[in-house]
Amino acid sequence: MSYTLHTSDINSLIYQYMKERGLHHSAFMLKNEAGNLTQDLPSGSLVTCLEKALAIEELERHKNEQEALSTDLPRCTNEFRLNHPHDCIYDSIPLLSHTNGSIGGLKHLIVLSGHTGYVKSLVTRKELLLSGYILFRSIDGTIRMWKLPQNIQDYSNVYILPHILANQTSVEVISIDCNQFGMIASLAVDGVVRLWSSEGVLFNTIQHTSEILKVEWDSSGMFLLAASYCSLTIWDSQGELVKELVNGRVQEITMAWWRSPSEFTVQTLHEVWAWQQDQHPVELFVGSVIRVQWSPSKTYLAIIQETQVGIYQDECDIWYLNRDITAISFTSKDYILLTANTNSEIYFWDLESRTTTNRIYAGIGKILKLVFRKDDEFLAACSDTEVQVWNMENLLLFKKLKLSNNINDIIWTDEAGRLAVAFLDKIAVYSLY
């Protein structure tokens, strides 16, 4: 089946509309200039066509809403209008979770929905020129970029970034990063790196000869690092190849990070390497590694293994923290590290003196993630079903939120005190005040 829309059809619809509105002189001039026009159109034909077009646009925009409605999530209440941008606006919603902490009312919690697959990670960058946005990547093949205004109730879904193959099937997004100009780099399981503008417009795709594992912008936002199984590749912000690093000693790469504009930290299955451009890589650590994490100033490197965490510092020996560590987080002070274990204990480590300074007992089972707010005033800790927020000034529990579904990720969205929690295919945004 095919559809054809001729200029004469459009002119006929406008001519009929003008006559119905009493614009007889304009209708006569149109007929005189346009020539042969259809005279027997039903009344209101133009309006009917426009209404159908709006209905189709609304259906496409809200194609995932029926599933959301079946789980008692809200319906978009903002109207569609011609030549007017549409932002989804929702009414206040019932609380989808129970808590024995101080929630303070429904106005403190909203739930963002629309994904049809699990939300795997959250991304927000407070230094972005594109401030006030939070991005989610999901196994449903989309990145959703939401704007979170000052009024937590007035939120809207701004952009959807689809990752689709030529046969129209979606592919899971496995890595995402933003630079300070709002540009987004994403990696999907099809191995293609996609570059998006700050408005969510796809402007370039990059295909590498090897399977890419992760993408990351450098601190300047001008260069993009991609790690593959046996090489590191650097592109500029427009997707032009700058350099590819290959060394026979560095194989089975699993992750890589920028340490500086000219140095990378590379994790393989059995080692951790320091690799500077135009120099041979230097082996920092030998052993099986789950992941590594630098302190904010890139002075201390935490090497996380299955049973312990090693602390590396340039020209110093590696020393180890206590066992059974499940999560870590550096403060902005750089030398203060927090660790959590399977017993719900959170320890404060002074890395300069190599001693513990404080301890918190959370009582929520195995702690999976620790996240400091930018000002270090609050610490968020989560298990698979509960999130706690601790005040760092007095080390007292400030708020807690229980969810009946598994928690995938947590992140602070901005300085306004909002915490985003990803669970299943939804995101709860919680305001402390």
Give first-to-last CA distance, the chain, whole Å: 56
Given CA atoms 245, 247, 249, 252 in this order, what sign does their dihedral have?
positive
- pLDDT number for residue 94: 36
Return d(Cα 367, Cα 358) in angstroms, integer. Answer: 17
Domain locations in the chain? 7-56, 62-80+89-207+290-431
Q: Is 306 helix (H, G, I), strand (E, B) or coil?
A: coil
Task: Say which residue the tokens 């009582």 belong to.
Answer: 363
- Residues 6 or more apart whose CB falls under 8 angstroms from that of 112 comprise 136, 144, 146, 155, 157, 426, 427, 428, 429
- pLDDT number for residue 337: 94
User: Token digits for 179?
Assistant: 């630079």
Return d(Cα 433, Cα 430) in angstroms, integer. Answer: 9
The answer to whether 227 touches 246, Cβ cutoff 8 Å, is no
User: Token digits for 40?
Assistant: 């027997």
- pLDDT number for residue 353: 92
AA letter at 272: V
- Residues 6 or more apart whose CB falls under 8 angstroms from that of 121 comprise 136, 137, 176, 408, 409, 422
Return d(Cα 369, Cα 354) in angstroms, integer. Answer: 22
- pLDDT number for residue 115: 67
- pLDDT number for residue 124: 65
What phi, psi does 287 have (nearest 5°)? 150, 165
Q: What pTM does this model have?
A: 0.69
- pLDDT number for residue 223: 95
- pLDDT number for residue 86: 62
The answer to whether 424 touches 406, Cβ cutoff 8 Å, is yes
Q: Which residues of 159-168 are buried (b: 16+ CB within 10 A; e: fewer)?
A: bebebeeeee
Q: Which residues of the chain have pLDDT under 50?
A: 64, 66-73, 90-107, 126-130
CATH topology of domain 62-80+89-207+290-431: Methylamine Dehydrogenase; Chain H (2.130.10)
Q: Give the bridge partners for 204, in sequence order.
A: 195
The answer to whether 268 touches 255, Cβ cutoff 8 Å, is no
- pLDDT number for residue 87: 59
What DSSP designation does 344 have?
A: S
Q: DSSP states of 170-217 as a string? A: B--EEEEEE-TTS-EEEEETTSEEEEE-TTS-EEEEEE-SS-EEEEEE
